[in-house]
Amino acid sequence: MKFYPYKRLNRPVTLRATSVSLRLSDGTRDQLETIAYSTQQQTVALGIAGHSDWVSATIGLSATLPPGANAPDAAWSDLRVLAVLTDGETNVRTSADLTRDAEDGHDWAGSLEVLRDDHLGRASLAVHAVGTVDGIRGRSIAETDRSWIVDTVSDEPVRGLQLDVQKASFKKSSRVWLQAYADAPWIVDASARVPTVFVNTDVEGVIGLLDSSGSGVDSKVRDLLVAQMATDVWTAVFHGAIGDLEVEPGGSPVFPTDWQGEVLREMLPDVVPGVQVEEALRQVHRRRTGDSGWVELQTRIHYAAVRRADASKALAYTIRSLEQMNRESET
């Protein structure tokens, strides 16, 4: 929680995507269907139309300010509402002014242009209401409490963690660093643009097991294997995200704007339960960089990873299935 030395609105701005269109390389436009964005997931998927030649996207936006924004006795003047798209990977920030629908209304609307060359994957979209307070322009009055995700690659507006799974011979891979892990069935690379799981084709049977689609014992073992792999992935990406935080001058950590921020927001409620995610982030950062508490936190991190991987569900399903198979074999 941040503290401000002036009055602000005490509720967040609500943001919605209302339309999405792509400008193609031949100058034409493709108006995408509403399945390109999800209000529930708060995500826009610009790869949904299957175009490989789009140049820019125009996202229609609607924002609703909380009550009190237009109050006659408000502590601010010169109210502006800005949509801001931030890409932590390419370090590009794009902003656009929204306009008020009615003179005394709370709804603001407009559009934001996304240039494809400015982004490699996911960017974060937020809305900020700013005004002049005590003679100082541009002070933050309110903002969205959770940013939308604009995914320039995905064909599905899903907010969750996106993974790249690759098969490789660790012994013979051109990625020399994999050779050090030749006896591991898989390795998670959390430093990549998209978290990547490398599956070792040198481990006999692992690829066949992961690719199996039957309903016998193989499928049960596969489900357990996938759950274990997912647990490893969530653990690795959490450590990767928490270990690469930007810190404000006052020492407070800042949520990343890419997949790392999504991982932290997803897992922190289980790592430090009972507090807001901003406070949870500060507590975890203090323990990681301080003298004590980091080792004790590993159990909570592992628990959060197990929950995200649905490991308990996979184990319970496998046990029930094996028990049923045993009963059938005895009759």
CB atoms within 10 A of CB 112: 22
For the segment 143-202, what is each residue's pLDDT rounded down to a tens digit?
998 889 999 988 888 776 667 788 999 999 999 999 999 999 999 998 876 788 899 999
86 within 8 A of 258, measured Cβ to Cβ: no
- Distance CA(265)–CA(249), nearest Å, equals 22
DSSP code per residue over 243-279: TT-EE-TTS-EE--SSHHHHHHHHHHHHHSTTS-HHH
Q: Is the pLDDT of residue 59 over 80?
A: yes
* Residue 57 pLDDT class (50, 70, 90 cuts): very high
pLDDT score recorded for residue 160: 66
For position 3, what pLDDT does the model report?
Answer: 65
Q: Considering the entire predicted model, what is its pTM?
A: 0.61
Q: What is the 3-state secondary structure (H, E, C) of 9-51?
A: CCCCCEEEEEEEEEEECCCCEEECCHHHEECCCCEEECCCCCC
| Comparison of pLDDT for 283 and 165, the residue scoring more | 283
Helices (H), 125-244: 206-211, 217-242
The tokens describing 24, both together, are 């193609």
- 19 DSSP β-pair partners: 60
Helix (H) or strand (E) holding 144: none
Distance CA 292, CA 299 (A): 15
CA distance 25 to 134: 48
The amino acid that residue 150 corresponds to is: V
322 pLDDT exceeds 80?
Answer: no
Query: How does residue 223 score in pLDDT terms, banded at 50, 70 and 90?
Result: confident
Considering the chain, what is the average pLDDT of its residues?
88
Q: Which pLDDT band, with edges at 50, 70 and 90, does 122 fall under?
A: confident
pLDDT in tens, 64-78: 998 888 888 889 999
Q: Which residues contact 43 (CB under 8 A, 6 or more apart)?
A: 37, 148, 149, 150, 151, 157, 158, 159
At 30, list the tokens.
């493709």
Q: Tell me which residue of 80, 81, 115, 83 sits closest to 17, measured CA to CA.
A: 83
pLDDT value of residue 263: 87
Report the C-alpha gap between 146 and 163 in whole angstroms.
22
State both tokens at 304.
């959060």
Please write the tens of the pLDDT for every residue from 229-281: 889 989 999 999 999 888 888 888 988 877 788 889 889 999 999 888 889 99
Among residues 29, 295, 48, 305, which one has the least CA distance to residue 156?
A: 48
Question: Does 211 have pLDDT greater than 80?
Answer: no
Q: Is the dihedral of CA 243, 186, 123, 129 positive or negative?
A: negative
Q: How confident is the model at residue 36 (pLDDT cuts 50, 70, 90)?
A: very high
pLDDT value, residue 161:
66
8-state DSSP, 134: T
Structure tokens at 296: 């004790």
- Among 34-43, 64-73, 208-217, the minimum mean pLDDT is found in 208-217
Task: Give residue 162's pLDDT.
Answer: 66
pLDDT band, residue 2 (cuts 50/70/90): low
Phi, then psi, of 279 in degrees rounded to 5: -70, -40
β-strand 196-200 against 164-168: which pairing, if any? parallel
d(CA 107, CA 283): 36
* pLDDT bucket at 302, cuts 50 / 70 / 90: very high
**156 vs 26, residue with greater confidence:** 26
Q: What is the DSSP letter of 16?
A: E
Section 52-68 average pLDDT: 93
* Phi, psi for residue 247 in degrees, rounded to 5: -125, 135
Q: How far apart are CA 74 and CA 60, in angstroms?
A: 29
pLDDT at res. 214: 59
Are the beta carbons of 129 and 66 closer than 8 angstroms? no
Residue 277: name the closest of 293, 256, 291 by CA. Answer: 256
